[in-house]
């Protein structure tokens, strides 16, 4: 039961510079029974520095999945959480860390869930945060709020693990219809953008915040597969009329 839940959870590290941090992340994960690590274009990996820092969690490094883009790492996930030390201009829906831990356990009983961590120096870009349903912030010193990458993973992993140590109130499944995976949402956003350009509602030379705002709107709704199909069907109908 425990392992089934945790098997559906993946940690995604985006453009990590220091292999030592990747090793430390593997160790942090293993202490909290997580095992799925996705690496989006790490600077150096595999690397002895990663292996040394992983201690007995080398198996996680051996099984880590390397991908070229964040999109690939989260394509089949229905819930994607992004972590960030700082607020963004376009405020993204956020969840406090304890609530996020509960939500992740609840949803991982049904489908793959990703937690995304950014670059050591610059974190996640706005575009990357916008691929996430929610942003998680670890409350910290307002004058020095940026934790080491592996420390951030450790805290989030612990908040998740806490919920499996407690009696499982979340074990029952909500009778929800099948949620759309990230790749389907991405397909919808690209289709929508095309149509809005065709309609001259969106000027590609001056896109402003329109697409991120629409993405945020649809993200909030946690769209089901069937709903994505309806929306895409509507877009196709608009395109047929236009042509």
Stretch that binds ligand SAH, among 28-36, 62-70, 80-88, 219-227 (CB under 6 A): 80-88
Out of 43, 55, 86, 220, the residue judged to bind ligand SAH by CB under 6 A: 86
Stretch that binds ligand SAH, among 28-36, 57-65, 144-152, 180-188 (CB under 6 A): 144-152
Give me the residue label for tokens 């201009």.
89
Cα separations (Å) of 119 from 21, 29, 36?
Answer: 11, 18, 19
Residue closer to ligand SAH by CB (options 132, 228) is 132
Asked, as a colleague might, if the bond just before 235 is cis with ω within 30 of 0, I would say no
Q: In the complex, which residue's CB is closest to ligand SAH?
A: 123
Stretch that binds ligand SAH, among 98-106, 114-122, 172-180, 201-209 (CB under 6 A): 114-122
Between CA 88 and CA 216 the distance in angstroms is 13
Q: Is 19 in the site for ligand SAH (CB under 6 A)?
A: no
Q: Is 154 in the site for ligand SAH (CB under 6 A)?
A: no
Out of 85, 95, 211, 231, the residue judged to bind ligand SAH by CB under 6 A: 85
CB of 70 to ligand SAH, least distance (A): 12
Stretch that binds ligand SAH, among 27-35, 122-130, 171-179, 190-198 (CB under 6 A): 122-130
Q: Is 138 in the site for ligand SAH (CB under 6 A)?
A: yes
Question: How many residues line the site for ligand SAH (CB under 6 A)?
Answer: 19
Token output for 120: 């050591």
Rounded to a whole number of angstroms, the CA Rg of the chain reads: 19
Q: Is 152 in the site for ligand SAH (CB under 6 A)?
A: yes
Give me the residue label for tokens 């309806």.
230
Q: Is 94 in the site for ligand SAH (CB under 6 A)?
A: no
Cβ-proximal residues to 116 (8 Å cutoff; 6+ apart), any chain: 12, 14, 70, 73, 74, 80, 81, 82, 83, 124, 128, 131, 132
Residue closer to ligand SAH by CB (options 120, 224) is 120
Q: Is 140 in the site for ligand SAH (CB under 6 A)?
A: yes
Give me the residue label for tokens 């001259």.
200
Between CA 140 and CA 147 the distance in angstroms is 8
Between CA 111 and CA 116 the distance in angstroms is 16
Cβ-proximal residues to 194 (8 Å cutoff; 6+ apart), any chain: 235, 239
Please measure the distance between the N-terminal and C-terminal CA atoms of the chain and give it in whole angstroms: 53
Task: By CB under 6 A, name the binding residues for ligand SAH.
Answer: 83-86, 117-118, 120, 122-124, 136-138, 140, 145-147, 149, 152
């Amino acid at each position: 039961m425990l392992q089934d839940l945790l098997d559906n959870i993946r940690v995604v590290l985006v453009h990590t510079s220091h292999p030592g941090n990747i090793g430390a992340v593997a160790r942090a994960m293993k202490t909290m029974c997580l095992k799925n690590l996705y690496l989006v274009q790490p600077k150096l990996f595999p690397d002895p520095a990663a292996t040394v820092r992983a201690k007995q969690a080398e198996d996680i490094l051996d099984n880590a999945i390397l991908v070229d883009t964040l999109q690939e790492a989260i394509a089949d996930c229905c819930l994607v959480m992004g972590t960030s030390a700082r607020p963004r201009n376009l405020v993204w829906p956020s969840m406090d860390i304890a609530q996020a831990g509960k939500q992740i356990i609840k949803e991982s009983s049904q489908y793959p869930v990703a937690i995304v961590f950014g670059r050591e120096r610059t974190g996640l870009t706005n575009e990357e945060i916008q691929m996430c349903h929610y942003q998680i912030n670890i409350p910290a010193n307002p004058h020095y709020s940026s934790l080491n990458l592996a420390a951030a993973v450790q805290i989030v992993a612990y908040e998740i693990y806490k919920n499996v140590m407690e009696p499982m109130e979340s074990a029952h499944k909500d009778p929800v219809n099948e949620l759309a995976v990230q790749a389907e949402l991405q397909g919808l956003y690209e289709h929508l953008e095309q149509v809005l350009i065709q309609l001259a509602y969106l000027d590609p030379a001056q896109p402003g915040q329109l697409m991120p705002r629409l993405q945020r709107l649809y993200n909030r709704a946690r769209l089901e597969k069937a709903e994505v199909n309806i929306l895409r069907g509507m877009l196709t109908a608009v395109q047929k009329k236009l042509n």
